Amino acid sequence: MNLYKIINQLTDEEYNELHSSLVATQALKTISFLECIKEDPISPDKLFLEREDVNAAAFYVLKSRLADRIEDFLLQRLGGDTLALTHRVLTVSDLVFDSTREIAEAALGKLEKELIKNDFPYGLMLVYKELQNVHNFGEEHAYYKRRYQQQVAYAVAMDKAEDLVREFFKVFDEYELKRRDRDLTTLTRIMEKLSNLSDLYDSHRLYFCKGIVHLFALLFIEIPDTIRCDLEPAEDIMEKLVKIQDDFKDDPTYRRLDLIVNFLRYSLDENKGRQDNSHLRYGILDDAIEKLLTGFHFNINASLFLFAKLRHHIRNKSISQLRKQVDGYVGKIPVDTYRVTYFLNYNLFKAYALFLDGDYHAASRVLFDLQNEVNLRNDRRAMLNVKLLQIICYVKMEDFDLANAAILAMQRKLRQTTFEKWENAKTFLRIMNVALGGRPKTMEKNLRSSIDKWNEENKGAVALLEYLDLDVVFNMKTKVLQHS
């Protein structure tokens, strides 16, 4: 357990509650250590040992006790509206053994209705198993045995659907990094499997799994025409997802995914050009940006919101405001390297913001540090995005030695057969060469023709540096206006 990280991820309310519980037990040194962790999350041990006179053995015991207290505290906070229902499910055997047949049957019948309403197959399995026992000598036994078997099959389908959702976003991460055709094929196969599962049962949970994946795919990937399942219009899927959430407001699963549904609604509004609607939802998402980047959302790739945030500030000509956020709270969000796409997107987002604000040195430093943290050698698209953005930083810095060395290294890389589909990257390097050493009389013309070619090639699945407008970077739009 990462004790320091957990303490600093507690809300102020949670921290104060934990602190108060320690005060009640008069654990003074434990309280002091807790306060040191909150005050200095980088080196709390040093701060604590400066304040308190304890030896190494006592300090180890103190740490262990604080970890135990935090585990107990977090466990006590578990709950929710379904806790009582879950407790009743777990005591159905006691109910059958401790009650008359009539009372057990009535109570189990009531519990069955609640579980059906909440779409809780695991609980229904236990209930139907006990109803079989209650009706062991009656005609209903065969009925409840059949119902039990149906719930087992449905529970297996639910498990498989949830696994498929997690697998989809795991493969999507690979697709984002590499843009391999086989990853796209796998994504479509998962979509087909989810569609088949949803069609087997009249289940809002199975539809929600299918709907989240299908809607995300419609918004963020180019779905092949060869896909072997029907795709509803994105608007229809969104409407059904929102209705499920409204119909089952107390369901903790849907509550936990509310932020992701808002992200999909925002993305759909942006996709349809409804910026009045998307602007309102943007505020909700931006306020929860740390939760989007650090929370578990069924593995759904919420880091894509960073690029939506970037587009928002480009559109509103508020890059200086974005720069302040990157230098402030956004730049301090603890995004780990364990999920490479999140770490990559987070650092690319910061580098874009710094570049667009004209701080090419800082942008280059972010990209340099990124490459020291994660190995992108086999992630072709990710590597190209990072390397090309770093090259244009060097060009804008007018650091000719670094720029030329980086361009030559990338040209050698692009000669490999594995990079044959990235013609846009080769065109980008030609633009950089022109910008570095073109003759003044022909530079503008050569830049214009090369940038036009880049704009034609840089589309679809192979698109790179999607948030840089090279016409703006090299002031070409201004020059066109001056000549017109």
* DSSP assignment letter at 40: -
C-alpha distances (whole Å) from 471 to each of 21, 102, 180, 396, 448 are 60, 79, 29, 14, 8
The CA distance from 355 to 323, in Å, is 10
Q: Which residues contact 162 (CB under 8 A, 6 or more apart)?
A: 209, 298
Number of domains in the chain: 4
| Position 257 in a domain | yes
In a shared domain, residues 342 and 475 = yes
Residue 308 lies in a domain: no
d(CA 176, CA 300): 13
| Distance from the Cα of residue 470 to its chain's centroid | 29
Question: Does 34 map to a domain?
Answer: yes
CA-to-CA distance for 336 and 293, rounded, in angstroms? 10
Q: Are residues 70 and 117 in the same domain?
A: no
**C-alpha pair distances (Å), 402 with each of 245, 380, 399, 478:** 53, 22, 6, 28
Banded model confidence at residue 78, pLDDT cuts 50, 70, 90: very low
Q: Is the pLDDT of residue 477 over 60?
A: no
Report the range of poorest mean pLDDT among 62-76, 161-175, 321-335.
62-76
In this predicted structure, the answer to whether residue 79 has a pLDDT above a threshold of 80 is no
Residues 6+ apart with CB under 8 A from 203: 119, 154, 158
Q: Percent of the chain beyond pLDDT 90?
A: 62
One domain for residues 107 and 217: no
- Average pLDDT of the segment spanning 16-33: 87
> Are residues 294 and 148 located together in one domain of the fold?
yes
Q: pLDDT (tens digit, 9 = 90+) per residue, 176-199?
A: 999 999 999 999 999 999 999 999
Identify which of 69, 30, 66, 32 has the alpha carbon closest to the alpha carbon of residue 47: 32
Q: What is the reported pLDDT for 77?
A: 59
Q: Would you state the structure tokens that stand for residue 282, as one six-digit string?
A: 């943007």
For residue 278, what is the DSSP state? H
> Where does the pLDDT of residue 81 fall: very low under 50, low under 70, confident under 90, or very high at 90 and above?
low
- The pLDDT score that the predictor gives to residue 21 is 87
Residue 416 tokens read as 């490999």
Residue 45 has pLDDT above 70, yes or no: yes
Kindly state whether residue 408 falls inside one of the protein's structural domains. yes
pLDDT for the residue numbered 479:
40
Judge whether residue 335 has pLDDT over 70. yes
Average pLDDT over all residues of the chain: 89
* Domain membership of residue 66 as a residue range: 3-76
Whole-number Å distance between alpha carbons of 104 and 99: 6
Q: How do residues 298-317 score in pLDDT, each as one tens digit?
A: 889 999 999 999 999 999 99
User: Which stretches of 374-419 are DSSP H helices?
Assistant: 380-397, 400-414
Threshold 0.85, pTM exceeds: no
Residue ending a domain, among 120, 138, 156, is 138
Mean pLDDT of 345-373: 97
**Distance between CA atoms of residues 265 and 215, nearest Å:** 10
If asked whether residues 155 and 295 sit together in one domain, one would say yes
**How far is the C-alpha of 288 from the C-alpha of 292, rounded, in Å?**
6
Determine contact, residues 305/314, Cβ cutoff 8 Å: no
Q: Is 208 a member of any domain?
A: yes
DSSP state of 81: T
What is the percent of the chain with per-residue pLDDT over 70, rounded to a whole number?
95
What is each CA distance from 191 to 22, 186, 203, 315, 358, in whole angstroms?
A: 50, 9, 17, 33, 42
